């Protein structure tokens, strides 16, 4: 799923300064699961902002609402009748949701309430870690199911680099060396011969390098 | 700005979330032992402090409480094993939010005690009342009062 | 057809079976070329070629290519180091051609230290290619006379291609397969990471030799003299992928502080002398970091002077 982290409240307070009626808009999907922008986080942020306004003698209306998804037209329609009561929306969805809402409500300022971090997994309670960079051409079949693009700090496709020490990356002792993981897995799969196959120069045109990407499915189109 | 005399006079309104297995029972015990404790603490019984969410603490402050205390079992003695640890980390999270929005984090505090500690209950409520008295009334409560007066 | 792929003197010396000697020179953090040329002239007669580092430890410095040109113009043979961290395949190919236009004929392909170690920790890294793919790229440009995009190159670059190897990085069991991969990609010479753990290095060499890799590539052992016990401890604890045995630290700690530098040189010379006898060793890459003036002494004491005139 998409992993996001909460923005510092000070930053949100800065952003909402010019507006007096603000809707905090949550999303029930990824950001709910990673506890950054679901209904609960909307409540907490809205309450904190109200306490801030009351204690500083600032008059603002802070509203709350959470949508099933912010990356779908039909769910975003749900707030059509509500938006006139506000002069800005703080969206706690990922960057996709913020932009989709912005496209839908052309004259409504949309402010992000979270930082969208990565595509990741819930590795442990309170710990989310990156697993994919959506490079557009998956190499996992050849790397023992461990991704060198997202998990190697240098996205080395023929690794490990010289900085791998005790299975950890040179950038931090807390970061696993992706290539150590790949080798461990290839060994477990009895596929170490795969290691010696050279990964060719990668086609990054399917990555962000190729410009904004689209997926078109004629069979699904109406 | 308040002088000390008004601080003395100020009677804080404190919400006390008390676990039914320990702090709430300790409050009961204090009562039967005829130990008086400050009337400033309004007790809300919870099945476990692990039930308390950040929003409960924030809502209390938003609605005008001058302070919030969470009283759970001694560490390692939670009936639900980890409830009081969860509560502690949520209390810490709320305190961080308060710091970010310019409010004194000390308005929110966590205490641990057992059901047998009646006198201790009286002690922590007195301590909390004293602390909030030092901090003065919550600016939120003041703003709420102003708007009520205006109405 | 010539048996040489380039006009590199290093290539001729290695192919003639002599022990090659290279050193390195870090470009300055400023635009004064004299800092490079001074270092170069200091060691000119004691080495066959001088590596010029490419923004090492991710600190912004004078461009490696520009520094190489300064050396080349003084008649010093440079080894152009190129990392894949900062440039994409357009820039890398373009710089390769730029180097070839000055007849810079040695190149070392590296991935580069992560930018978080340097002065631009908040910058992007590129890593369009990795170091092995860069080796392939140079070989493709040289041998096929083509760009990666497929177009013909007018006057393809004649460059002797090298890669780095760290015999000590983890996991140890893939060190040899990894070397084999670099050779398969087209590396013609290898300069290793600094060697302090001689036994482990010999084991690595033995395994390389068992796989026939020493027949296919010239392995130059990386040597860095220790200036002090503090440096030894720093190398052991702070530099990624470095293996400094405790006895080195103890030996340095055992002498007075003012004699530690000399002891460090002595250790380096002893190591070179020991490794000269190891089958498959093609030469030495002496990296005296900000201590270039000591290179002549090390080369002489190790019996590697004078350099063959080729």
Residues shown for chain B: 151
- Residue C195 burial (CB < 10 Å; 0-12/13-18/19+)? buried
Whether the CA torsion B24, B26, B30, B36 is positive or negative: it is negative
Question: Given CB atoms, is A47 within the 8 Å cutoff of chain B?
Answer: yes
Asked if residues C268 and C298 have their Cβ atoms less than 8 Å apart, the reply is: yes
Q: Tell me the count of A-B CB pairs closer than 8 A.
A: 49
Please enumerate in sequence order all residues whose Cβ is within 8 A of that of C101, keeping only pairs 6 or more positions apart, or say none: none
Other chains touching C, judged by 3 or more CB pairs under 8 Å:
A
Asked if residues A54 and B143 have their Cβ atoms less than 8 Å apart, the reply is: yes
- What average pLDDT is seen over chain B? 91
- With CB atoms and an 8 Å threshold, state whether C241 touches A199: no
Residue % of chain B over a pLDDT of 70:
89
How far, in Å, CA of A169 to CA of C258, rounded?
Answer: 36
Asked if residues B13 and B141 have their Cβ atoms less than 8 Å apart, the reply is: yes
How far, in Å, CA of C237 to CA of C243, rounded?
Answer: 9
| SS3 per residue for chain A | CEEEEECCHHHHHHHHCCCCEEEEEEECCHHHHCCCCCHHHHHHHHHHHHHHHHHHCCCCEEEEEEECCCCCHHHHHHHCCCHHHCCEEEECCCHHHHHHHHHHCCCCCEEECEEEEEEEEEEECCEEEEEECCCCCCCHHHCCCCCHHHHCCCCCCCCCCCCCECCEECCEEEEECHHHHHHHHHHHCCCHHHHHCCCCCCCHHHCHHHCCCCCCCCCCCC
How far, in Å, CA of A152 to CA of A194, rounded?
Answer: 18
In a structure prediction context, what are the per-residue pLDDT tens digits for chain B, which is 151 residues long? 444 445 556 899 999 999 999 999 999 999 999 999 999 999 999 999 999 999 999 999 999 999 999 999 999 999 999 999 999 999 999 999 999 999 999 999 999 999 999 999 999 999 999 999 999 999 998 777 665 565 4
Three-state SS for C58?
helix
For C90-159, list the strands marked E by DSSP.
106-110
- What average pLDDT is seen over chain C? 96
Exposure on the CB side of residue A179, measured as CA atoms within 13 A: 28
Q: Look at residue C239 in the predicted model and tell me its pLDDT.
A: 84
Q: How far is A29 from chain B (nearest CA, A)?
A: 20
Quick one: angle between helices C246-253 and C260-276, nearest 10?
Answer: 140
Domains and CATH numbers, chain C: 9-302 (3.20.20.220)
Chain A residues with CB under 8 Å of C128 CB are 204
How far, in Å, CA of A2 to CA of A93, rounded?
Answer: 10
Q: Are strands A172-176 and A168-169 parallel, antiparallel or unpaired?
A: antiparallel
- What average pLDDT is seen over chain A? 96
Residues pairing with B127 in the sheet:
none
- With CB atoms and an 8 Å threshold, state whether C164 touches A162: yes
Quick one: angle between helices B118-135 and B23-32, nearest 10?
Answer: 100
Is pLDDT of A32 > 70?
A: yes
Q: Look at residue B3 in the predicted model and tell me its pLDDT.
A: 47
- With CB atoms and an 8 Å threshold, state whether A47 touches B139: no
CATH of A2-118, picked from 3.40.50, 3.40.720, 1.20.1050, 3.30.70, is 3.40.50
Question: Given CB atoms, is A19 within the 8 Å cutoff of chain C?
Answer: no
The string of pLDDT tens digits covering residues C139-176 is 999 999 999 999 999 999 999 999 999 998 878 889 99
Three-state SS for C55?
coil
Is pLDDT of C266 > 80?
A: yes
The string of pLDDT tens digits covering residues C32-73 is 999 999 999 999 999 999 999 999 999 999 999 999 999 999
Question: Given CB atoms, is A162 within the 8 Å cutoff of chain C?
Answer: yes
Of A153, A170, A198, the CB nearest to C181: A198
Low-confidence winner among A107-116, B83-92, C1-10, C275-284 (lowest mean pLDDT):
C1-10
Give the residue extent of every domain in chain A: 2-118, 136-207
The string of pLDDT tens digits covering residues A192-210 is 999 999 999 999 999 999 9
Across the range C119-130, mean pLDDT stands at 96
Q: Look at residue C252 in the predicted model and tell me its pLDDT.
A: 96
Of A155, A163, A198, the CB nearest to C132: A198
Q: How far is A9 from chain B (nearest CA, A)?
A: 6
Is pLDDT of C1 > 50?
A: no
Quick one: angle between helices C229-238 and C246-253, nearest 10?
Answer: 160
Reference B65, options B6, B9, B15; nearest CA is B15
Residues pairing with C240 in the sheet:
none
How far, in Å, CA of A9 to CA of B58, rounded?
Answer: 14
Q: Look at residue B147 in the predicted model and tell me its pLDDT.
A: 59
How far, in Å, CA of A35 to CA of C59, rounded?
Answer: 38
Question: Given CB atoms, is A9 within the 8 Å cutoff of chain B?
Answer: yes
Of A9, A47, A54, the CB nearest to B55: A47
Residue % of chain A over a pLDDT of 90:
96
φ/ψ of A153, rounded to 5, equals -65, -20
SS3 content of chain C, % helix, strand, coil (to 5): 45, 15, 40
Asked if chain A contacts chain C via 3 or more Cβ pairs within 8 Å, the reply is: yes
Other chains touching B, judged by 3 or more CB pairs under 8 Å:
A
Q: How far is A127 from chain B (nearest CA, A)?
A: 15
How far, in Å, CA of C109 to CA of C134, rounded?
Answer: 6
pTM: 0.91
What does the DSSP assignment read for C214-237? GGTSEEEEEE-----HHHHHHHHH
Other chains touching A, judged by 3 or more CB pairs under 8 Å:
B, C
Q: Look at residue B7 in the predicted model and tell me its pLDDT.
A: 53
Q: How confident is the model at residue A218 (pLDDT cuts 50, 70, 90)?
A: very high
φ/ψ of A94, rounded to 5, equals -70, 175
Token pair 């690595």 is found at C204
Q: Look at residue B146 in the predicted model and tell me its pLDDT.
A: 60
How far, in Å, CA of A141 to CA of A119, rounded?
Answer: 19
- With CB atoms and an 8 Å threshold, state whether B102 touches A43: no
The string of pLDDT tens digits covering residues A180-190 is 999 999 999 99
The string of pLDDT tens digits covering residues C107-122 is 999 999 999 999 999 9
Is pLDDT of A81 > 70?
A: yes
Across the range A70-75, mean pLDDT stands at 94
Of A43, A52, A57, the CB nearest to B101: A52
**Nearest chain B residue to A49, by CA:** B101
Q: How far is B123 from chain A (nearest CA, A)?
A: 29
Distance set, CA A74 to CA A78, A109, A219, C9, C288 (Å): 7, 20, 21, 70, 66
Asked if residues A198 and C184 have their Cβ atoms less than 8 Å apart, the reply is: yes
Residues pairing with B71 in the sheet:
B18, B111
């Amino acid at each position: 799923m998409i992993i996001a982290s909460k923005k510092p409240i000070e930053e949100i307070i800065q952003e909402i300064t010019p507006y007096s009626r603000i809707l905090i808009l949550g999303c029930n999907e990824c950001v709910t699961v990673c506890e950054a922008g679901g209904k609960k986080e909307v409540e907490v942020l809205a309450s904190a902002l109200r306490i801030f306004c009351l204690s500083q003698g600032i008059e603002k209306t802070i509203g709350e609402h959470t949508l099933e998804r912010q990356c779908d037209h039909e769910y975003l329609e749900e707030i059509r009748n509500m938006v006139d009561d506000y002069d800005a929306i703080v969206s706690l969805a990922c960057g996709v949701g913020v932009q989709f809402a912005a496209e839908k409500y052309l004259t409504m300022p949309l402010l992000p309430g979270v930082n969208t971090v990565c595509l990741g997994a819930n590795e442990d309670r309170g710990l989310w870690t990156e697993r994919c960079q959506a490079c557009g051409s998956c190499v996992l079949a050849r790397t023992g199911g461990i991704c060198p693009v997202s998990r190697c700090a240098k996205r080395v496709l023929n690794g490990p680099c010289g900085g791998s020490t005790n299975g950890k990356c040179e950038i931090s002792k807390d970061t696993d060396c992706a290539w150590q993981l790949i080798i461990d897995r290839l060994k477990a799969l009895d596929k170490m011969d795969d290691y010696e196959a050279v990964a060719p120069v990668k086609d990054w045109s399917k990555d962000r390098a190729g410009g904004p990407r689209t997926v078109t499915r004629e069979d699904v189109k109406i | 700005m308040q002088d000390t005399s008004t601080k003395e006079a100020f009677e804080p309104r404190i919400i006390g979330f008390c676990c039914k297995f320990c702090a709430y029972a300790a409050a009961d015990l204090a009562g039967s032992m005829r130990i008086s404790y400050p009337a400033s603490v309004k007790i809300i019984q919870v099945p476990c402090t692990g039930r308390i969410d950040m929003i409960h603490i924030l809502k209390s402050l938003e609605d005008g409480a001058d302070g919030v205390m969470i009283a759970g079992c001694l560490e390692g003695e939670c009936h639900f094993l980890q409830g009081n640890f969860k509560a502690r980390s949520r209390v810490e999270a709320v305190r961080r939010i308060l710091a970010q929005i310019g409010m004194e984090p000390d308005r929110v505090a966590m205490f641990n005690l057992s059901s047998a500690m009646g006198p201790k209950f009286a002690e922590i409520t007195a301590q909390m009342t004293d602390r909030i008295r030092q901090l003065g009334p919550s600016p939120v409560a003041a703003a709420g009062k102003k708007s009520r007066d205006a109405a | 057809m010539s048996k040489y792929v380039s006009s590199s003197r290093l290539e001729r010396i290695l192919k003639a079976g002599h022990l090659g000697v290279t050193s390195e020179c870090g470009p300055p953090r400023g635009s004064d070329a004299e800092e490079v040329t001074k270092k170069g002239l200091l060691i000119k007669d004691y080495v066959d070629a001088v590596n010029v580092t490419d923004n090492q430890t991710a600190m912004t410095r004078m461009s490696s290519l520009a520094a190489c040109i300064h050396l080349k113009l003084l008649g010093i043979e440079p080894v152009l180091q190129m990392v894949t961290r900062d440039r994409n395949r357009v820039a890398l190919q373009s710089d390769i051609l730029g180097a070839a236009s000055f007849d810079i004929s040695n190149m070392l392909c590296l991935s580069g230290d992560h930018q978080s170690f340097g002065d631009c920790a908040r910058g992007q890294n590129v890593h369009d290619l990795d170091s092995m793919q860069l080796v392939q790229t140079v070989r493709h440009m040289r041998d096929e006379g083509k760009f990666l995009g497929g177009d013909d190159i007018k006057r393809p670059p004649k460059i002797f291609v090298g890669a780095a190897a760290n015999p000590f990085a983890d996991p140890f069991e893939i060190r040899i397969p990894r070397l084999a991969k670099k050779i398969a990609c087209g590396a013609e010479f290898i300069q290793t990471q600094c060697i302090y753990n001689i036994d482990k290095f010999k084991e690595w060499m033995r395994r390389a030799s068992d796989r026939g890799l020493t027949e296919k590539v010239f392995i130059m052992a990386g040597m860095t003299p220790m200036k002090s016990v503090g440096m030894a401890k720093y190398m052991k604890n702070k530099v990624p992928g470095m293996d400094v045995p405790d006895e080195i630290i103890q030996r340095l700690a055992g002498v007075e502080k003012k004699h530690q530098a000399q002891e460090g040189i002595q250790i380096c010379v002893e190591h070179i002398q020991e490794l000269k006898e190891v089958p498959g060793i093609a030469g030495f890459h002496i990296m005296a970091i900000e201590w270039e003036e000591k290179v002549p002494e090390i080369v002489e004491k190790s019996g590697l002077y004078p350099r063959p005139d080729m």
